[in-house]
Amino acid sequence: MEKARGTNTARSCRSQPSTGPWLATLEEETYRGFLQHCGDRLQRWNIWQAYHSRGTTGKHKNSLPIEEIRSQRQAQAKVLGYPHFAALSMETKMAGSTERVNTFLDSLAEQVRPKAQEELQTLTGFCQERGFRDQLQLWDVPYWRRKQRQALLARFDEAAVREHFPLPAVLESLWQVLHDLLGITVGESSQLAAKAWHSDVRAFEILHPSGELAGSFFLDPYARAGKHMGSWTEPARGCNTLLGQPAIDIRDISVTPLPGIAPCLTDTSFTSMPLVQVAVSCRAACRWPMYC
């Protein structure tokens, strides 16, 4: 088994860092790193199966609460005169209707499916050339895709590339791009920072070109014990034009800081960062002219 570089793997008290045994958790960063680096196909299946079976068995089984939520949402929609909850939800979304969402998804699938099939066929051929004779499954793709990228880009070194993306410089450059393209200004907010839940969390405000506050967001950038890993966005407060309250979002990435080294982004964390959505989501939520 290849050791997954940079993953947040919990080790048993008797394990050795270089030889194991290791206990892989189902946190997002650990899970993805394990699938990409583990050469044991059975172990890849084990963690894939465990990850996709969360909430389905034992005391953590959540199927009944989910069905109750669905039932209550349907009842709510009926009371308010909507055919289903999705139609009710679309009232506050940019898409506007479920029909528009479905049309967009169908159109997107039509455009990307041929390319996806081509890439899968190429990856299958790559695996077979290296002795893999089974049918490629979902738990195989990340591992062989990494191998394929290494073969195609023989000089590619992810650790070396990440040194060019220190988090402070990336943020500064991103704010400048948003200012140049959209005319908005992103700056830190000491008032909002006072409400942060951890010392690592930073708070920012987004200003309209006129100087009006358009929205705010918390940025929780670093991996730590007990934190949900990965890159994600969560609304903390919706926009309320009646009360004059701009939206507040939570933007999360999980950079693993190393001692004595500035925290840097991998190519994956950089491309999946939810930060670029900041301006668009706040402009849409506050119904600026370009979205009216």
What average pLDDT does this structure show over 256-274?
Answer: 64
The whole-number pLDDT of residue 47 equals 96
Q: What percent of the chain has pLDDT over 70?
A: 79
Q: How far apart are CA 82 and CA 89, in angstroms?
A: 10
| 11-24: pLDDT as tens digits | 344 556 677 778 88
* Comparison of pLDDT for 236 and 98, the residue scoring more: 98
Q: What does each C-alpha distance from 164 to 120, 239, 261, 264 come to in angstroms?
A: 31, 36, 12, 8
- Tell me: pLDDT of 50 over 70: yes
| Most confident stretch, 41-50, 173-182, 213-222 | 41-50
DSSP-derived 3-state class of residue 251? strand
The whole-number pLDDT of residue 286 equals 42
| 68-83: pLDDT as tens digits | 999 999 999 999 999 9
Among 62-66, 138-142, 178-182, 223-227, the least confident range: 223-227
What average pLDDT does this structure show over 95-101?
Answer: 89
Among 43-52, 148-157, 201-210, the least confident range: 148-157
* Comparison of pLDDT for 266 and 285, the residue scoring more: 266
- Tell me: pLDDT of 284 over 50: no
| 158-188: pLDDT as tens digits | 767 777 888 888 888 888 988 888 788 989 9
The whole-number pLDDT of residue 259 equals 64
User: Which residues lie below 8 Å from residue 267, measured CB to CB, with a gap of 6+?
Assistant: 158, 161, 162
Q: How many CB atoms lie within 10 A of CB 265?
A: 22
Q: How far apart are CA 146 and CA 157, in angstroms?
A: 12
First to last CA, the chain: 54
Q: How far apart are CA 265 and CA 285, in angstroms?
A: 29
